[in-house]
Amino acid sequence: MNCYRRSLRHDDRILLWGSVAVTAIMACYTGVFWYALLGVPIVVSLVWVCRPNVLWLRIIHGLILGVFWLISMVCSGQWLKYYLVEIYKVPTNSMEQTIIPGDRVLVCKWIYGARQFTGEGIERLWGLRAIERGDIVVFNSPEENGDTEGTTESASWEGANTQNIRYHTPYVKRCVALPGDVVEIREQELRVNGAVQEAPSTAMFRYRFSFSDSRSMTQAAEWVERNLLIAPKRLPPEAMLETFLTRQEADSVSMLPGCMEFHMTHSRPTTVVYPHHDSLLWSMNTWGPMRIPQRGDSILLTEKTIRLYAPIVELHEGHRITLTDSTTSVDGVPRRYYVFAKDYYFMMGDHRMTSQDSRIIGPIADDHIIGKATHITWSVNPELDASHQFRWNRIFKRLK
């Protein structure tokens, strides 16, 4: 075939060796050799030495090179999504006002180390650092459908301990306690290891304001709607307003004319919270104390510890702990102690009154954690029409 040899230019060599280096790093990071093959199409297209002189053969030659590049780019993009970064859409207000419905959140998996799903289980690759208190974390729901309201007796370990975890509903919350910490909530006040934890400035609570008369209440409601873009609930007979606000916003409303007093109200007492046991009078407002399990922790199996930890042991570690006639057993084998195989984290939403977080679903095992939410890439207001729904002020906004 009449053709000529294509010489490699300086730019070609840079791209060639860069592709080789990147694919080598991809293979080394994951420990999976075949990832190195993702760069083969680029290498082949660069070192293709023969180029036909005939026009129709030249067209076919160009199409083949284009297909090679397309395959490589698509596969590399999937690798980046799987191991480095991914974008998630936030549909709920559990992190309001830090993250609001319609935000697209950038999740960096490489900070904690991406998860590697193998036939033997889940491994976490090398990461930059461990999870810290205050991090905004994206994780998979412990149960497949994401609905953990109620009992966990029907939890399926088979579904929770396989690759199906990655398909469970993703949640975004703030990590407030680490493995080994003791968590307690008293009157909506979070305490970790006995120390009161200051809520983020963006955390929202439900407040009720009392006014001297209905006119003052109406004026205050209009001010809140105009300045805070929130429609408060009016209680005309008592001249009261009730709404969700940050503490700074609540202080601003309390300074309005006619406001006599204000206080934080409680969440719904009917919400079923972890560990979903009738003997514990825990709620969203009063929860704990409970030590968050750490890998290697050994607990003496008593009626109290079984009540606290049996649900997460069964759901996350696949073992059933029972107490029969004063005899404790694990998977039917008599044992006095249980040793945890995983680290657990306590997550809470910034919208403290309505968030379905660890107060309801329990501590989250480390293999359910996807990564750290670092930025809002873009945001769309689902309540507005198409011409006004893009939120320009939230483009690549840093989360903290």
The identity of residue 229, as a single letter, is L
Pick the closest to residue 118 from 80, 169, 165 (CA basis). Answer: 165
Cis amide leading into 219 (omega within 30): no
Q: CA 188 from chain center: how many Å?
A: 22
The identity of residue 257, as a single letter, is P
Distance between CA atoms of 201 and 14, rounded to whole angstroms? 48
Q: What is the pLDDT of residue 366?
A: 95
Q: What is the pLDDT of residue 342?
A: 94
**Averaged pLDDT, 374-384:** 87
Identify the architecture of domain 86-180+277-398 in CATH. Answer: Ribbon (2.10)
Fold of 204-264: Alpha-Beta Plaits (3.30.70)
Q: What is the pLDDT of residue 57?
A: 73
Report residue 304 as tokens: 């109290």
Q: What is the pLDDT of residue 349?
A: 93
SS3 state of residue 290: strand
Instruction: Enumerate residues 6+ apart whose C-beta is below 8 A from 396.
Output: 375, 376, 377, 378
CB 136 within 8 A of CB 399: yes
Question: If you write DSSP's letter for every residue of 67-86 in order, what string do you get?
Answer: HHHHHHHHHHHHHHHHHTEE
Instruction: Average the pLDDT over each of 151-165, 319-333, 379-393 and give the range with the smallest value.
Output: 151-165
Secondary structure of 307-356 in HEC code, one letter for each residue: HHHHHHHHHHHCCCEEEECCEEEECCEECCEEECCCCEEEEECCECCCCC
Q: In what order do the strands lie in the sheet with 287-291?
A: 195-196, 189-192, 182-186, 287-291
Pick the closest to residue 220 from 207, 205, 234 (CA basis). Answer: 234
Percent of the chain with pLDDT over 70: 86
pLDDT band of 32, cuts 50, 70, 90? confident
SS3 state of residue 373: strand
Domain boundaries, the chain: 3-83, 86-180+277-398, 204-264
Cis amide leading into 363 (omega within 30): no
pLDDT digits (tens, 9 = 90+) for 174-211: 999 999 999 999 988 899 999 999 988 889 999 999 99
pLDDT digits (tens, 9 = 90+) for 286-337: 998 999 999 999 999 999 999 999 999 999 998 999 998 889 999 999 999 9
- Higher-confidence position of 95 and 53: 95
Return the C-alpha torsion angle 218, 224, 225, 231, nearest 10: -80
CB 109 within 8 A of CB 370: yes
Is the fold of 86-180+277-398 the same as that of 204-264?
Answer: no
Highest mean pLDDT among 144-153, 159-168, 213-222, 383-392: 213-222
Q: What is the pLDDT of residue 2?
A: 53
pLDDT band of 5, cuts 50, 70, 90? low
- Higher-confidence position of 163 and 344: 344
